[in-house]
Amino acid sequence: MGSKRVTYCWDSNVLIAWVAEEAGAPLDDMQLVMNEIDVGTAALLVPVTAYSEVLEAKNTPEQMTKFRRFLERSNVVVADTTKAIAEKAGEIRSKGLAGKPKRKIETPDATFMATAIIYRADAFHTLEMSQLPQLSKTDVVDKLLICAPGPLSGHRSFIPPGDST
């Protein structure tokens, strides 16, 4: 990868699992990404809407402090939802509905992926295993790589079988 700094975008479900240290979540893989962020070889992109998804009602005050402090790091970019992101999210949802197979993409998912696309993230990390992985590297998401959390050097891509793009 050379000296290019990698940019990851985390889905809210990754943030929620990390904050709560959920059993069964790939916490070791998330920590590898955190290590890259700590040493400056990676940056993390987090849509501002994450603040509305990581809920105080479901987390302890300590977990919420951990979340907020994490977002204050210099190489964590909290991206505001702009008109361009909203339009891209609508485009993603429309392409999903027009595609074969037809896919109904929820607005929060589309907004997170649109943010990753607009900010040119190298990978979008998610724990959602039913629909989002099927969108990886497709035209619906402008060829965005959608994968499980982990360093790009050893990512486990969710490219559908038979799709070599």
**Tens digit of each residue's pLDDT, the chain (165 residues):** 445 789 999 999 999 999 999 999 999 999 999 999 988 899 999 999 999 999 989 999 999 999 999 999 889 999 999 999 999 999 999 999 999 889 999 999 999 999 999 999 999 999 998 889 899 999 999 999 999 999 987 544 433 333 333
Do the domain assignments include residue 158? no
Do the domain assignments include residue 162? no
Residues 6+ apart with CB under 8 A from 42: 5, 6, 7, 8, 33, 36, 75, 151
Do the domain assignments include residue 45? yes
Do the domain assignments include residue 160? no
Do the domain assignments include residue 82? yes
Give the three-state DSSP class for 43: strand
Do the domain assignments include residue 119? yes
- Count up the domains in the chain and report the number: 1
Do the domain assignments include residue 4? no
Boundaries of domain holding 139? 9-152
Taking the whole predicted model, whether its pTM rises above 0.85 is answered as yes
Which residue is listed with tokens 């990754």? 14
CATH for 26: 3.40.50.1010
Do the domain assignments include residue 163? no
User: What strands lie across the sheet with 6-10, from one edge to the other?
Assistant: 76-79, 42-47, 6-10, 123-125, 146-147
Contact 67/15 with Cβ under 8 angstroms?
Answer: yes
DSSP 3-state percent helix, strand, coil across the chain (nearest 5): 50, 15, 40
